[in-house]
Amino acid sequence: MGLKIGDIMNTNKLLLLCVMISHTAFGTTMFWQEESEKKVGVTSEVIEKKKEKTNDVQMFINQHERVVVMFTLTYCPYCRYLQPLFDQLEKKISGSVHFKTIVIDNKKDFYKNAFNFKTAPMVIYYKNGKEQKRHGSDNKAMTLGKMRGYIKSFFG
């Protein structure tokens, strides 16, 4: 009774399934996530921000008059769509508005509970420490123009 090609393929599928379940249960980073971070331009500085605590984020919000915070996941397709728009917006409006990207890969539940949101990406606009608006990007309808419009309407 020898090993057949189908047995090997099923074993590999089972192994991949076990790795994925382990990732989900323990919140570890998978090898393809690290590669995807490079593709979407997530810098090591942004990746380090996921280690911040709620107090650090809240302190940042309270330190500045106008703040836009984006909570994102490196492996989320909608986050990947919105991240370049957020980066462009930051470059065009830097100085008068402060931007912060929080990568929540390893602390999804923590940040979702602390900032009261259910899905990522989540962009929250603050003025003088008070929330003005929030939105996600569950479709490709969010544009740079819409985000600039939100900033103009909330921050002048």
Which pLDDT value is given to residue 93?
Answer: 86
Convert the pLDDT of each residue in 85-128 to its tens digit. Answer: 999 999 988 788 999 999 999 888 989 988 999 989 999 999 99
Q: What is the CATH architecture of 43-155?
A: 3-Layer(aba) Sandwich (3.40)
Q: Using DSSP, state whether 100 is helix, strand or coil.
A: strand
Asked if 125 and 68 count as a contact pair (C-beta separation under 8 A), the reply is: yes
Nearest to 100 by CA among 110, 109, 116, 111: 111
* This prediction's pTM: 0.65
Number of H helices and number of E strands within the chain? 7, 4
Domain ranges across the chain: 43-155
Q: Which two tokens stand for residue 84?
A: 């370049």
